[in-house]
Structure 1
Amino acid sequence: MFAAYLTGTLVTSVFTGTAATFYLIRHDYPLAQADAPIHVLGTAAGRGAGGGLILYFIGALAAHLRVGSRQLVGGVVFLALAAASLVLNLGSQTP
């Protein structure tokens, strides 16, 4: 069962990453599929992933605190990097 889970997760990751890349570079295939500015979908996926990472690391830090662990430096560093990436992504987009 674990092998099926791992395979499914890896395949989903590859497909999602490839689709986001095609949207962001405005590849001909996704452009032919829609009339809307397709790069917006890639941007939305990136922002969603950034927000998800932030929530993940907040949860990880909360779990560490809940069990009394004070080894928070790694989680704080990753949380700060995810937050900075999301802020830079939001700031780099033109309206």
Structure 2
Amino acid sequence: MFTAYVVVTLLTSAVIAVAAVANLIGHDYPKRQADKLRVPRSWTLPLGALLAAGSLGLLAGFAVPVLGTLAAGGLVLYFLGAFGAHLRARDHDFGAWALFFSLAVAALGVNLAYH
């Protein structure tokens, strides 16, 4: 179980960190997504900061398990909010969302199972 916990947590943290960096540096993809979902572009920085906090929180969970659990739970809530934004904008392209959401749920699941 420890191996699964470490692998899933590291993978999720890395993928979420890439998304956070894309938001924080102003990459075109998050801007296009914001436009497509009718979310103000000014939200990309705060959303990137939330993603970065989630990614770092998952890693901090190795030292303080409750932080990892809270970070994974926060990421699940974040991506549920993203799902709502997709539905509100009538955007049914859920491919990237499904990947991120599945990783967040998996991270929460292995975190709870291990601890």
TM over 0.5: yes
Unmatched runs of 5 consecutive residues or more in structure 2: 1-44
Moved over 6 A (4+): none
Q: 1:63 — aligned with what?
A: 85
Higher RCO (C-alpha under 8 Å, 6+ residues apart)? 2
Unmatched runs of 5 consecutive residues or more in structure 1: 25-41
Q: 1:44: Cα distance to partner?
A: 0.7
Q: 1:91 — aligned with what?
A: 113
Give the aligned residue type for 2:102: A
Distance in 1 (alpha carbons) for counterparts of 2:96 and 2:80: 12
Q: 1:68: Cα distance to partner?
A: 0.7
* Length, aligned pairs only: 64
Q: Root-mean-square deviation (CA), in Å?
A: 3.0
Q: Does 1:76 align with 2:98?
A: yes
Q: Provide the identity percentage.
A: 37
Q: 1:56: Cα distance to partner?
A: 0.5
CA offsets 1:19-67 (integer angstroms, 9 cap, x no match):
x37x71xxxxxxxxxxxxxxxxx11111110000000001001101111
- Counterpart among 76, 82, 90 of residue 54 in structure 1: 76
